[in-house]
Amino acid sequence: MREYLLTLCITAAVTYLLTGPVRKFAIVAGAMPEIRARDVHREPTPRLGGIAMFFGLCAGLLVADHLTNLSEVFDKSNEPRALLSGAALIWLIGVLDDKFEIDALIKLGGQMIAAGVMVMQGLTILWLPIPSVGTVALTQWQGTLLTVALVVITINAVNFVDGLDGLASGMVCIAAAAFFMYSYRIWYSYGIEAAAPATLFAAILMGMCLGFLPHNMHPARIFMGDSGSMLIGLVLAAGAISITGQVDPDVMKLFAGSERNTVHQMVPVYIPLLMPLTIIAIPAADLVLAIVRRTWRGQSPFAADRGHLHHRLLEIGHSHSRAVLIMYFWSALIAFGALAYSVNSASMWIVLGVVILSAIGLGLLLLPRFTPRAPRWAEAFVPPRYRRRRAAVAEAAAIAVPETAVGTQEEPEHRTPVAAGVAGVNGATAIGARSRFLDRRKAGTSR
């Protein structure tokens, strides 16, 4: 565990320290696109944050290769080199897209080639554990197609969800944390060394996201761009492929005793079928909805719009930070809920806890529908938007806006004396309207 933590910290430190220079490089290189209609930010922000994340990945693999226990992963498996090859290719395509805006079909072709490069070096799905059927061995073509499909879906799911400051990096970090705990348990609890590469990939992915996240929180100083979102999507997919198609399910059966114990012990065997889906459940749902929505409108599935889940959260009244936290909450609930179920599938407390947390999540989604007000004695301990006095002033200002609109159409330095007089009259009218509003409010409360 200490070597994993060291690898994680080194990856995070390198990513964090390189993000600042990369931001300056992106500004000099002109990787600051104009504000688009679907964008949430209002100021041009440099991209190419994936450069720092890629070098963080390289640093993490380099450190792990020189550690005592983790070096065995490189000696006994070719998967780390396969990951680095595919990551370098997808990162290069992302850098070109961040600078020159390459075509979507070219990016899709590059994603398939990167997945094919990893397959050629041994990172592929060899078999699938299917409940009530057993272990099904896949042919070379079946394993290749399934691996490429999983990589492409994961990359685009992460890329689609990258629409708010800190959203993609935070959600992937949560998914990587859950996946690390799962794969680490498979390795040390069952003694299966084939789970070691997936555990290493998850630790490095957490470091990449944690190192970049401080620079990307709202308001973001730099975006990861496609060079970052496609990169972390590929690393996430590589870990899922490694744990799903490389770990032999028959090895876990050796730990089972009675028939009942066999069922409980085989839960971690079947969870790999669900774990890769649960860790990207929210991005994958957003991807499917986007494809259906755009196809229904007669548009290309790659045509950008403002219909993503995070856009809808903003439209119903959530703030930027609250929308990101809500997406974090649901990602953590799904990923760690599946993780807890894999540890103890017979416990009803896990199911009950997931149900309760889901109800809380639904309440958070509907929060803009009502604005709770704290009692007066608790106003000092709550945010300003929940205080009655601040709400009254805001409502009074909203009433006064239409009356002052005439006087605010011209800039102060260009106003004529007549316009200035009109503005003064309108200002006095606004103050009077606010006073009358407060008087009416006091009279209503006194009754």
Helices (H), 319-387: 320-343, 348-365
Q: Is residue 191's pLDDT more than 80?
A: no
**pLDDT reported for residue 51:** 95
**pLDDT reported for residue 354:** 78
Cis peptide before 219 (omega within 30 of 0): yes
Beta strand extents in 8-120 (DSSP E only): none
Query: What is the rounded distance in angstroms from the CA atom of residue 270 to the CA atom of residue 267?
Result: 5
Return the top range by mean pLDDT from 11-15, 219-223, 394-398, 438-442.
11-15
**pLDDT reported for residue 403:** 44
In sequence order, what are the residues at sequence separation of 6 or more whose Cβ sits closer than 8 angstroms to the Cβ of residue 328? 170, 171, 174
The rounded Cα 156 to chain-centroid distance in angstroms is 12
Q: What does each C-alpha distance from 243 to 88, 120, 347, 445 come to in angstroms?
A: 22, 18, 25, 64
Instruction: Check: CB of residue 61 under 8 Å from CB of residue 78.
Output: no
Query: What is the rounded distance in angstroms from the CA atom of residue 15 to the CA atom of residue 8?
Result: 11
Instruction: Check: CB of residue 113 under 8 Å from CB of residue 148.
Output: no
**pLDDT reported for residue 311:** 64
**What is the pLDDT averaged over residues 16-37?**
84
Give, to the nearest 10 degrees, the angle between helix 50-65 and helix 225-245: 40
Residue-range domain boundaries for the chain: 2-317, 387-446
Mark residue 122 as left, alpha or beta (left: phi above 0; alpha: psi -120 to 50; beta: remaining).
left
Query: What is the rounded distance in angstroms from the CA atom of residue 284 to the CA atom of residue 155?
Result: 10
Helices (H), 101-224: 104-120, 140-161, 167-190, 196-216
Q: Is residue 293's pLDDT more than 80?
A: no
Report residue 415 as tokens.
Answer: 């106003």
Amino acid (one-letter) located at 381: F
**What is the pLDDT averaged over residues 416-438?**
46
Residue 347's pLDDT band (cuts 50, 70, 90): low
Q: Is residue 108's pLDDT more than 50?
A: yes
Which of 22-31, 65-74, 174-183, 254-263 has the lowest average pLDDT?
Answer: 254-263
In sequence order, what are the residues at sequence separation of 6 or more whose Cβ sits closer than 8 angstroms to the Cβ of residue 248? 127, 135, 192, 194
Q: Is the CA virtual torsion 270, 276, 282, 287 positive or negative?
A: negative
Residue 193's pLDDT band (cuts 50, 70, 90): confident
Residue 116's pLDDT band (cuts 50, 70, 90): very high
Which of 133-142, 243-252, 280-289 has the lowest average pLDDT?
Answer: 243-252
- Which of the two residues, 336 and 285, has the higher pLDDT score? 336
**pLDDT reported for residue 338:** 78
Q: Which of 40, 42, 279 is nearest to 164 (CA)?
A: 40
**What is the pLDDT averaged over residues 369-397?**
60
In sequence order, what are the residues at sequence separation of 6 or more whose Cβ sits closer than 8 angstroms to the Cβ of residue 267? 341, 342, 345
Q: Is residue 205's pLDDT more than 90?
A: yes
Query: What is the rounded distance in angstroms from the CA atom of residue 58 to the CA atom of residue 381?
Result: 46
Instruction: Check: CB of residue 404 under 8 Å from CB of residue 430.
Output: yes
Instruction: Check: CB of residue 170 under 8 Å from CB of residue 213.
Output: yes
DSSP state of 137: E
Query: What is the rounded distance in angstroms from the CA atom of residue 38 to the CA atom of residue 284?
Result: 20
Burial class (CB in 10 A: 0-12, 13-18, 19+), 58: middle
**What is the pLDDT averaged over residues 275-284?**
65
**pLDDT reported for residue 408:** 39
Q: Which of 215, 206, 229, 185 is nearest to 91 (CA)?
A: 229
Q: Is residue 245's pLDDT more than 60?
A: yes
Longest dimension (CA), the chain: 94
Q: Is residue 334's pLDDT more than 90?
A: no
Which of 174-188, 202-216, 309-323, 422-436 has the lowest average pLDDT?
Answer: 422-436
Share in percent of the chain as helix, strand, coil (round to 5): 75, 0, 25
Q: Is residue 121's pLDDT more than 60?
A: yes
HSE-CB at 369 with a 13 A cutoff on CA atoms is 5
**pLDDT reported for residue 410:** 38
Q: Is residue 427's pLDDT more than 50?
A: no
Helix (H, G, I), strand (E, B) or coil at 386: helix
**What is the pLDDT averaged over residues 7-11?**
95
Residue 118's pLDDT band (cuts 50, 70, 90): very high
Report residue 194 as tokens.
Answer: 């084939």
Q: What does each C-alpha distance from 240 to 202, 234, 236, 270, 387 come to in angstroms?
A: 9, 10, 6, 13, 47
Which residue's entry shows tokens 């996946």? Answer: 179
Report residue 69 as tokens.
Answer: 């226990």
Average pLDDT for the chain:
75
**pLDDT reported for residue 425:** 40
